[in-house]
Amino acid sequence: MARMALSLRFTHVQALSSRGNHRIRLDGEGALFVDVVTRDCPRGTPWSGDWPDVPLRQLSAAECDELAGIIRDSGFLELAAEWFQAGRDGYREEIEVTLGPRTHKVTVERAPPPAAFIRVRSAVWKLAGLAG
């Protein structure tokens, strides 16, 4: 069976401070880019700059296949697009996945994330070497 193309973007943006915001990008070639904000940015600016030019690491074909399996088997691709809870404090997280011909984006804002979102997020954090 041919390998399905996989790419992914994850962002975590906090409401009150940009310190600790992080984003992860997996390109179609398996290059994993990670950007973690370590200082406060100007108000309304979630990132301190562009994506890193060099990936943190290159995922193996087996790691990409395992992540694709988690995405498929968790039910992530069937989740509603938005999970929202009103409020002023908190965070916003987004995962956008392209798996084969299908692209699906899920946004969680100040709400408890669904189990499938947590599974995919945890797998991505682990690949990126972030706590989670």
Q: Which residue has the higher pLDDT, 72 or 38?
A: 72
| 6-128 to CATH, choices 3.40.250.10, 3.30.420.40, 3.30.1560.10, 3.30.2130.30 | 3.30.1560.10
Q: How far is CA 80 from CA 5, 67, 111, 125, in A?
A: 22, 20, 13, 22
CB atoms within 10 A of CB 41: 15
pLDDT in tens, 67-98: 999 999 999 999 999 999 887 777 889 999 99
Parse the chain into domains and list their residue ranges: 6-128
pLDDT digits (tens, 9 = 90+) for 105-114: 999 998 999 9
pTM reported for the whole predicted model: 0.90
Computed over every residue of the chain, the mean pLDDT equals: 89
